[in-house]
Amino acid sequence: MSPFRSSTGLYENVAAFLCYLFAFVGGVVFLLIERRSRFVLFHALQSVILFAGLMVFHAAAGFLPIIGVIVGMLLSLLSLVLWIVLMLAALQGKWLKLPWIGEFAERQLNRM
């Protein structure tokens, strides 16, 4: 358990975990209420960007004839794997930065 508490009163790793547990919505909520913890804000922003992108690609896959079903299933599997890995990393207090998305989230966090 992380010894540091976020401005929400939750431990940082628990708050970051919740950003992923509730995917896009959890990230948005913590972006709105978190005031102090860069760890929580990073995971909230990464969650929003990742899951919003996955939703868009999943919706776009529905318009692909024939291979859309296969692409959709692969995206669903990728989403599940990322969801589990990111939740576990957040609970362990790790700054697991995804390629491109994590770097973008970190740059945005530096602007805040």
Give the pLDDT score at 1. Answer: 54
pLDDT, one tens digit per residue, over 62-110 is 899 889 999 999 999 999 999 999 999 999 999 999 999 999 999 998 8
pLDDT, one tens digit per residue, over 4-62 is 788 888 999 999 999 999 988 999 999 999 998 999 999 999 999 999 999 999 999 98
pTM of the predicted protein model? 0.90
β-strand partners of 5: 11
Cβ neighbours of residue 45 closer than 8 Å, sequence gap 6 or more? 27, 31, 105, 108, 109
The amino acid occupying position 71 is V
